[in-house]
A and B are shown apart, each in its own frame.
Chain A
Amino acid sequence: MVKRKLGALEKVEADLPNLQHKIRRDPKSYIEDFRAQHYQYESHREIFMAAPSAATDTGIISLKELIDFISHVADCYPEILKDFPQQLIDMLMQHHLVLEPELREKIVGSIVLLKKKDLLDSATLLHTLFPILITTPSKTLRALLFQKILSELRQANSKTTNHKLNRTMQTVLFNLVTSDRTSSKGLWAIKITRELWKRQIWTDAKAVEVMKEASLSQNEKVIGGGVRFFLGGDKEREEMEDESSDEETLDIGRLRHTLQINKKSKKKARVAEKAMATHKKKERKKNQPHPLNFSALHLLHDPQGFADSLFTKHLQNSKAKLNLEQKLLVLQLVSRLVGLHKLHIMSLYSYFQKFLTPRQPSVTSFLASLAQASHDLVPPDVLEPLIQKIANEFVSEASAGEVATAGLNAIREICVRQPLAMDETLLQDLVMYKKSKDKGVMMASKGLLSLYRDVGAQMLKKRDRGKEASMGLRSGEKEQRRFGQQEVGGIEGLELLEKWKEEERRKRREEKGLPSDAEDDEDEEDDWAAWNVEDDDDSDDSGEWINVQSDVEIELSDSEDEGKDRPSKKAKQDEAEAKEKEKDDAAQEAKLSTLATTRILTPADLAKLAELRAQASVDSAVNGSRSRRPALPAARHTDDPLTAAEIEGLASLSAAKATREERIAHAREGKPDREEHKSKEGRRRERKQEQGKSTTNKEKARRKNFLMTLGKAKSKNKRSLVETRAVLKAHHDRQKRGGKRGNAGN
């Protein structure tokens, strides 16, 4: 018998992918085939449900493949498959413990696929996946589910924030954390919240609430997770944003250049167009106002209660099972909360008492926490014994250099925040260490000295006060502030703006030929016309100042309670204008301050203000004699934590114990890294090659193969005199003409 010829498709026994492809192209015609496969799936499901654990591989087609096939074409036959998603969900929910891993993964993937095809809503999906995530013992399944849940949440929030979904999910997580405080399942809530916080999908108080509950739980891991979030979550978020923003900086000029040079094709044009579009989009994004993101510490509802319960639950409680590292983390969080929100936990300071000895492991962290926990509303007599103890334990002639440095730095950090805690005799003792041989100790002591020159010069001995401080004392301008006294706040740089406006007006009037001092109302209207920053040509060209603008907004937002934590900072920054102020009389000062109260500052005004402020700071840095002064730690942002490294200070410098490598590394710090020593020419050549540019003629000549030049060199020797003359003449002429082609200009 002659063998029948088989078509390519007929050879395949059971080709589900092929059928899938055909169904996708023409669902109506293949409905019968699909129905058959659906019955097949139903029967296999029946077999499977009869014995879920003993899922044997049945023949050519397994249940896994059928599920895959059906979920891929599910959107073509919604009527036949209306139960299908629920069936999959049931299968997974009931049998995920005994399912074969591959089948399990396939079911999870299919459910997600059905969600993508809109046959399932995301709330159902999350309600299916999340309970399994926290109960399953399988690590691979957990990883898969976690990834799917995250991507689902991200996807749901990609276009607009899906408040409803977020709220339900956050409630689920919150309940998970609060329902059983001893179990470690809360870790999943932490993981999800932290990841979404990092990606700025969840930025609201509810997410912070979840983490707050987590850090108050009884499981060490959960506590650690929650506390770490508060200490590092925001930094992580910022880093993530930076990363994503400088992902690919497209050089648009180069792109255009290559487009001109390279061969033109439709594909290349398309690619270039796409690149241009993304570039434009990015530019637009860059110009958009920065979204306000509050840090987790600011979003807490009841910081006092939170800090109180953290402290009593995990630190004071003798039954708490935390080890030293975890305790330190909790302590850092508590002290940051206290410092940031100016809370009062009186027992916290006496708690520190027993840890303040040089023999205590990681004592610098304790010192840093103590400094963080002190602010200007802490009663000085609470801090005084602590400072006394630090001075007694750490700072003495007999103690090692690092120890004394750490002690002095800690005392300075505390006093920056609460200058009244210092005793006069103690201060004078400590200042004497500025003559120390040890560099670290000397620097730390000088830091303390310069601090008190500013905030309490009368406590210093006369010869230590310095010129400025003594002058200030004599004129009565530098007075030590009393406990609880607040600096009167204002808008930084407002007087600069005022001055600038005045000048502008004068100029305009001079142009018009009017007397420069007369008043008029015109410019008011001009200002209102220039309401928008974009319309204002002054700020149009200064694109780089837009970043600064976000600072202004923050400044404005808390201008009501201004000066809460900035008095010393304010004192510093205002010093640039101190000279001018001295000249000005009190009346003018009153006039300055009325600018913000009598009129509304337009965005254009604010942009100008930012510009002027930046200009002023640059000026003072370049030509001011005051720029010699090191930036004081109080000048940094209040949100930043104080680290143990800052307490240790220059101790690493002071000790001669540093190895050679350490010293080299230290010397290298701050210098631009330079991999190789190469000639300028060599580096230039490399750069050109990187940019895909060609070599010069000279370079080509140098690189030319020796054998190729050999013939000419040989023949040169054999030239007759006449020939030589002709060649030389030709060369001379060519030089005169300016190259082979001649110089077009000549």
Chain B
Amino acid sequence: MGSSAKRKKEKQKDFQKPKLKVGKAKAKPENFTDTSFKAKAIVLNQQSLHVAAPTSSSQFSHHLSLLSSKSDSQRRDSLAHLTTSIASRPVNSPLPQPVSVMLSSLLPLILDANNNVRTALLKLLKTLPPSDVQDHVAQLLPYVRAGMTHLAADIRVSAVEILSWMVDAAGEAVVSCAGGWIKTFNCFLSVLGWHTEESARWSSNRASFGKSGSRGRPMVKVLGALAEFLEAGIGAPGAPVDDEQHEGPSSLAWPFPLCQTSQHMISESAAPYAYLNLFGQPRDEEGEMYETREDRYRVFSTRFLSAVERGLKSAREEGGELGRASSSVSKVLKAALSYGAGP
């Protein structure tokens, strides 16, 4: 009932403020539990103490393993360490680890959430020798495509950057590997939002769902990469002189009566019979390899030409930086079209 004086006092006690004094420790709460303990010694069962500093190769593999670390900065730092150790190795000496080993931990980083990590990754990739990259394009491409269609715009942009590096380093391999042509092109169209007539007519950037990205001019970059990609895929074959130069010494390798023998020998590429697809999943039309320019041109003209032209038109109409970037694409396109299906 609360009528008695004792009860009233008890009630009031609950609402009294504890008095704090300067220079004195705060009073412990009522339910405080003392968790401190004393120990005579702390024993570490396993310690790895070595007199010698770790070798550079062991450090390299250690940093490679750190790439799957949870912390962003750790991944970034490890990438930087790897980059410097690759870049600073003596000329013509082999890589500390083969590319195939490194790629398995590098690839997931293409889809990394952190911007800095992806930038560092691109730097690292750029230090790799192009000849090694050529053989692993088929492994790289799915990740790049996944990046290009990612919900986060930043990842899209950096994936496009990586793709343009790949085209730079191994253009022929990129466009001719399994699924490299149609699937990648589809991704381009979806990044640019050029798939359907309706979507191309939107005045604003259509690929706008999710975070729009902090780094500017994504469309311009994408258009630049598209131009490079088109050039690699269906660009007019360069000077035939180049071929002849290449053929010259090889024909010399064979003594006189043998001519064109090199055509009958096993190709020197890493996977000469990849097109047979002996061990993989059966491929559909999209996943097929389009090894020659004619094939690619045929596919392009039936599937993508109208969409690209429509998109280019709307980009040109928009003008500005975008219009200028689109002009480079249209230039490549014009050259390819004039060359036609091939000689």
Contact = CB atoms under 8 A, between A and B. Distances in A.
Nearest to B110: A59
B146 A58 contact: yes
Given A32-B195, A32-B199, A49 B209 contact: no
23 contacts: A9-B210, A13-B151, A14-B152, A15-B151, A15-B210, A19-B209, A19-B210, A22-B209, A30-B209, A32-B199, A33-B209, A35-B195, A36-B151, A36-B191, A43-B146, A43-B149, A46-B142, A47-B146, A49-B281, A57-B108, A58-B146, A59-B113, A61-B151
Interface of B: 1, 68, 108, 111-113, 139, 142-143, 145-146, 148-152, 155, 179, 183, 186-187, 190-191, 193, 195-196, 199, 206-207, 209-212, 281
B196 A39 contact: no
A523 interface: no
Contacts of B209: 19, 22, 30, 33
Interface residues of A, number: 33
Given A10-B212, A13-B113, A59-B112, A31 B196 contact: yes
Contacts of B150: 14, 40, 61
A36 B149 contact: yes
Contacts of A36: 149, 151, 190-191, 207
A261 interface: no
A30 B199 CA distance: 10
Given A14-B151, A31-B196, A39 B187 contact: yes
A219 to B, nearest CB: 38
Contacts of A35: 190, 195
A552 to B, nearest CB: 65
Contacts of A42: 145, 183
Contact of A32 (B148, B179, B207): B207
B90 to A, nearest CB: 33
Given A14-B210, A42-B145, A61-B150, 19 more contacts: A12-B210, A12-B211, A13-B113, A13-B152, A19-B210, A22-B209, A32-B195, A37-B149, A39-B145, A39-B186, A44-B142, A49-B281, A50-B142, A57-B108, A58-B143, A59-B111, A59-B112, A59-B113, A59-B155
Contacts of A47: 142-143, 146
For the complex of A and B, list the 10 residue pairs with the smallest distance between their C-beta atoms, beginning with the closest. Answer: A59-B111, A43-B146, A14-B151, A40-B149, A43-B145, A39-B149, A36-B149, A46-B142, A36-B190, A43-B142
Contact of A43 (B143, B212, B281): B143
Contacts of B179: 46
A372 B157 CA distance: 82
A40 B207 contact: no
A37 B151 contact: yes
A707 B108 CA distance: 77
Contacts of A16: 151
Given A13-B152, A13-B211, A59-B113, A40 B199 contact: no
Contacts of A50: 139, 142
Contacts of A19: 151, 209-210
Residue in A9, A16, A37, A58 whose Cβ sees the most chain B Cβ within 10 Å: A58
Contacts of A707: 1
Interface string A20-33: 00100000001111
A32 B196 contact: yes
Contacts of A14: 150-152, 210
Contacts of B155: 59
A554 interface: no
A56 B190 contact: no
Nearest to B211: A10
A33 B183 CA distance: 16
A704 B281 CA distance: 84
A498 B307 CA distance: 91
Contacts of B186: 39
A722 interface: no
Nearest to B286: A42
A60 B146 CA distance: 12
B146 A40 contact: yes
Contacts of A12: 210-211
Contacts of B195: 32, 35
A14 B111 CA distance: 12
Nearest to B145: A43
Contacts of B68: 56
Contacts of B142: 43-44, 46-47, 50
Interface string A41-80: 0111011011000001111110000000000000000000
A40 to B, nearest CB: 4
Nearest to B281: A49
A268 to B, nearest CB: 38
A499 B149 CA distance: 89
Contacts of B196: 31-32
B249 to A, nearest CB: 38
Nearest to A705: B1
Contacts of A9: 210
A22 B209 CA distance: 10
Nearest to A38: B149
Nearest to B156: A36
Contacts of B210: 9-10, 12-15, 19
A580 B222 CA distance: 106
A44 B146 contact: yes
Nearest to A33: B209
B204 to A, nearest CB: 12
B190 A32 contact: yes
A35 B188 CA distance: 12
A49 B195 CA distance: 27
Interface in A598-620: none
A10 B210 CA distance: 6
Contacts of B183: 39, 42-43
Nearest to B209: A33
A43 B155 CA distance: 15
Nearest to A83: B284
A7 to B, nearest CB: 9
A59 B67 CA distance: 12
A169 to B, nearest CB: 31
B280 to A, nearest CB: 8
A405 B146 CA distance: 81
A10 to B, nearest CB: 5
A31 B152 contact: no
A620 to B, nearest CB: 68
Interface in A79-102: none
B213 to A, nearest CB: 10
Contacts of A39: 145, 148-149, 183, 186-187, 190
Contacts of A31: 196, 199
